Amino acid sequence: MELHSEFEKQAIVHAAKRPWVPSPAAGVNRRMLDRIGDEVARATTIVRFDAGSVFDPHTHGGGEEFLVLEGVFQDEHGDYPAGTYIRNPPTSRHTPRSDDGCTILVKLWQFDPEDRTFVVQDGRHIEAFPDPVREGVEVRPLFKDQCETVRLENWQSGHPVSIGHPDGAEYFVVRGSFDYEGETFNTHSWLRLPPGKESLALPGTKGAEIWLKTGHLIYAKAPA
C-alpha cells in the first residue's frame, strides 16, 4: 500500500473527516496519514484504542515514536497520559493496551537503524520558551539528534507563523486551528511540507498547539 508516499510533494489530511479503519487487533482502529507497505510499513497514523483493547506483543524492527493525544496509553513499561511523547527504538518490544481507551499519533520505521535510545517526555510539564525569530510562537522541545527535531509549539492567534524547513517538515494539530493556503487545519489535521518549501500559516482565533517534526524526510525509507 502506498499513501502520500512521494516525499518531495506536499501532503494534507484532515483526519477528523476520515472514517476509522479497523486494525488487525480487536478494538484498535486507525486513520492513516502516510504509508509505504502493508502491516509492516513506514507509516504515520492516528490510532484509537477502545477501552480494554490490547495489541499483541511485538518488536519494533524499525522503531516507533508516538504522542498520546487523548486518554492513557499503557504497556508493561508504564502508563502514559495525554501529552506524553515516547520513542521506542529499533529492536524494542512491548504489549500496548489501554484500560480506559486512548488515541495516539504514531510513526513507524522512521529511525536510524542503529538508534537504541528510549525517550519518554511528558510534554505537559516541559517549560515553553519564546521562539527567538517567530513572534507569537512558544516552543516545548521533545527530541533532537543529528537527523531530526521534534517539538510542540503554541501558536498565538493574530501572528502569522513562518513554516517549512530545508529538509522538510510535518505539522499535526493537537488542538486549535490554523489556516494555510485557503484551507483550515483543525484538530488532528496533518500537513507535510517537502524539503525546501516555506510558507505562512495563520493561527485561528483560539491559537493552535502543533506537534512538529523537521529534518527527517530526506532520510525516509520504507522497511526492506
User: Residues 24, 118: one domain?
Assistant: yes
User: Residues 11, 49: one domain?
Assistant: yes
Residue-wise pLDDT tens digits, 116-149: 999 999 998 999 999 999 999 999 999 999 889 9
- Total count of domains within the chain: 2
Residue 148 domain-assigned (yes or no): yes
What's the rounded Cα separation, in Å, for the pair 81 and 99? Answer: 12
What's the rounded Cα separation, in Å, for the pair 116 and 92? Answer: 8
- Final residue in a domain of this structure, among 66, 93, 122: 122
Task: Say which CATH number the domain at 9 has.
Answer: 2.60.120.10
User: Residues 25, 50: one domain?
Assistant: yes
Give me the torsion for CA of 173, 176, 178, 184, rounded to 10°.
Answer: 90
Give the residue from 118, 112, 123 showing the smallest Cα distance to 85: 123
Rounded to two decimals, the pTM is 0.95
User: Residues 133, 99: one domain?
Assistant: no
Sequence-separated contacts (24+) of 154-157 with Cβ below 8 Å: 154/128, 154/207, 154/208, 154/209, 154/210, 155/201, 155/203, 155/207, 155/208, 155/209, 155/210, 156/203, 156/207, 157/203, 157/204, 157/205, 157/206, 157/207
Residue-wise pLDDT tens digits, 69-106: 999 999 999 999 999 999 999 999 999 999 999 999 99
- Final residue in a domain of this structure, among 70, 100, 122: 122
- Final residue in a domain of this structure, among 60, 90, 122: 122
Residue 224 domain-assigned (yes or no): no
Q: What is the pLDDT of residue 219?
A: 62
Burial class (CB in 10 A: 0-12, 13-18, 19+), 110: buried
| Structural domain span for residue 215 | 125-219
Q: What is the pLDDT of residue 156?
A: 98
